Amino acid sequence: MSDTIFSKIIRREIPADIVYEDNDVLAFRDLNPQAPVHVLFIPRQPMPTLNDATAADAELLGKLLLAAAAYAKQEGFAEQGYRTVVNCNEDGGQTVFHLHVHLLAGRRLHWPPG
């Protein structure tokens, strides 16, 4: 896998506004926020896209979503609502090829998203 900006954030080579971390997941504020709250949850273990996940990654994928939900509850917007998004490959809007979950909140989110 190529070295991405997210890999550099994990290694602390690039600064980021980190809001959550554990042994498997790191979360930080998006530099180009699309909502008042826009946080990216990434696995420490590199995985380019959701297409690269296997059944063996089910626990890690669950940890990403559970970390996002825990953050939403901790920050007090879980009951009001939020959105989680995983973009996959270029046509899906993925620009950094290290799997990540976007957590968007802080305003009414419309559907369809784009």
- Cα–Cα nearest to 97, from 29, 6, 27: 6
The pLDDT of residue 102 is 98
- Could you tell me the maximum CA-CA distance found in the chain, to the nearest angstrom? 38
Task: Tally Cβ neighbours within 10 Å of residue 49.
Answer: 15
CATH class of domain segment(s) 5-105:
alpha beta
How do residues 46-56 score in pLDDT, each as one tens digit? 999 999 999 99
- pTM value? 0.95
Q: Across all residues in the chain, what is the average pLDDT?
A: 95
CB 106 within 8 A of CB 36: yes
Contact 27, 19 (CB under 8 A): yes
Domain ranges of the chain: 5-105
Active-site positions?
100
